[in-house]
Amino acid sequence: MDYAIEMLNITKEFPGIKANDHINLQVKQGEIHALLGENGAGKSTLMSILFGLYQPDEGIIKINGQEVKIHNPNDANKYAIGMVHQHFKLVHNFTVLENIILGVEDAQFGFLKTADARKKVMELSQKYHLNVDPDAYIEDITVGMQQRVEILKMLFRDNDILIFDEPTAVLTPQEIDELMHIMKGLIKEGKSIIFITHKLNEIKAVADRCTILRKGKYIDTVNVSEVSKEELSEKMVGRKVNFNVEKAEPQLGDEVLRVENLTYHPKTAHKDLLKNISFHVQRGEIVCIAGIDGNGQSELVYALTGMVPIQKGHIFLKGEDITKASIRKRSDMGMAHIPEDRHKHGLVLDYSLAENMILRNYDKPEFQKHGFIRFDKMKAYADKLIQKFDVRSGEGGKSIARGMSGGNQQKAIIAREIDSQSDLLIAVQPTRGLDVGAIEFIHSQLVKHRDDGKAVLLVSLELDEVMNISDRILVMYEGEIVADLNPKDIDVKELGLYMAGSKRGEGYEK
């Protein structure tokens, strides 16, 4: 049997955790091989070993039947292995072309020679329908485009084995479809792809075979066409998963949030990014803001949470005008926030997990005395949340946030914000990058928060999530709310029309 890659008996330990425990992975030539597992199952560690970022404690790697040693990413490139990381490795103030040739530049007399490189990049871009602009700066292009730049980096280096680490976590549904086409095109050209994901629909759509890991151990390798989504999810989490959100009819109470004629126009923008937005959220309901990424959802959340100043309009929390209130004041008054960017706005990455757990309340009497933090109380509180929300890390509350898997970082933020029992929970993409078991748990927690008489404002790009969990859907398009819908009255196709701007709700006509 011709395997492009074999990883046999791979074991890797970190302090307090066996990330990979005698794992086998065999990838055939010319196949899309999915690597499936929960957050922290050891998928990224295994791929980091293949890419030379880590050395295994035990086990061997074979490429095309020959045993090899991969000491660093340059060795990986030498063996034609390329990787698109979950958090892209791009230099933001460089152009697309500069990022693609970085590390394999052609120079003469100390000057870069880019003409040949540009030609090759344009040819690859056309061949694989990637349509990138080589002169655009990374900071000015969408995440979907940034991902294409990462793919071009691999193709430019003539890599044959391509590793995609959770490539769809940051993409819109349309961009995901395009990526699937690109992946199938790459296979036709004779490449082999390892696709790390925990989205079962995507595995069913593109993968030939799938290897499942659970808690650092090898579980099984299956032919994707022969198993159902339910069977895959059961192998992945070790139990049956309920894909439907169980919830009773909402019991509406007082109004918690009211937004009137909100307008936001930053100095750098050519137009209003939020135009005259008005809506309200009551106790006992989950209101979801749906829309294609980049239609003002992020700016709306920044305005509500106090991260940007607004030009016009008012925000009321429990009847009090908080338009000019500080972030701390909003938090103390009962606003919780699960942010979109967990690294930038959700965690202090070099703090321990326990320290991150008390970021909201470290100044409250239960956690401080005379200005000194009460570490015993902090530890006990962190242990309680770690257990309740199943946050996995090598050393519990002592673990440094930066070293945890993305999904477990997300769970830590969700634990802190939901446990604050705030009257208004603003949750932005709360399940981004989580596996089915964790998503099921988070959805049940959001519903419980609603049933405890609190208000939930959810911002999500996942249409299934929007349809499944919300009591009301507000659709945003180009900085405006264009519809207020009941999920029971519409289907996903119709919701898509509102999101694309080709349909508007009653009372929202232009």
Residue 246 clears pLDDT 90, i.e. is over it: no
Kindly report the backbone phi and psi dihedral angles of residue 148, in degrees, each rounded to the nearest multiple of 5, phi listed first. -65, -35
pLDDT at 178: 82
pLDDT at 356: 95
Alpha-carbon distances of 478 from 311, 486, 487, 493, rounded to whole Å? 17, 21, 22, 19
pTM of the model: 0.73
Q: Cα–Cα–Cα angle for 464, 469, 475, nearest 5°?
A: 70
pLDDT at 67: 92
Q: Is 385 within 8 Å of 361 (Cβ atoms)?
A: no
Residue 211 clears pLDDT 90, i.e. is over it: yes
70-77: Cβ within 8 A, 24+ apart: 76/50, 76/51, 76/52, 77/157, 77/159
Query: Which tokens sit at 282?
Result: 């009551």
Q: How many other CB atoms are found less than 10 A from the CB of residue 81?
A: 28
pLDDT at 342: 87
Q: Which residue has the tokens 């979907």?
A: 144
Question: Within a 13 Å sphere around the CA of 463, how many CA atoms are in the beta-carbon half?
Answer: 17
pLDDT at 264: 92
pLDDT at 401: 93
DSSP state string for 49-79: HHTTSS--SEEEEEETTEEE---SHHHHHHT
- Show the beta-strand stretches assigned E in 130-197: 161-165, 192-197
pLDDT band at 207, cuts 50/70/90?
Answer: very high
Query: What 8-state DSSP symbol labels residue 103?
Result: T
* pLDDT tens digits along 37-62: 887 788 889 999 999 999 999 999 99
* pLDDT tens digits along 274-308: 999 999 999 999 999 998 877 899 999 999 999 99
pLDDT band at 110, cuts 50/70/90?
Answer: low
Label each residue of 141-155 as H, E or C: CCHHHHHHHHHHHHH
Alpha-carbon distances of 71 from 43, 75, 76, 130, 242, rounded to whole Å? 19, 6, 8, 31, 43
pLDDT at 89: 80
219-227: Cβ within 8 A, 24+ apart: 221/26, 224/34
Kindly report the backbone phi and psi dihedral angles of residue 280, in degrees, each rounded to the nearest multiple of 5, phi listed first. -140, 160
Q: How many other CB atoms are found less than 10 A from the CB of residue 105?
A: 11
The backbone region for 211, taken as left when phi is positive above 0, alpha when psi lies in -120 to 50, beta otherwise, is beta
Structural domains of the chain in order of their starting residue, each with its CATH number: 3-237 (3.40.50.300), 255-499 (3.40.50.300)
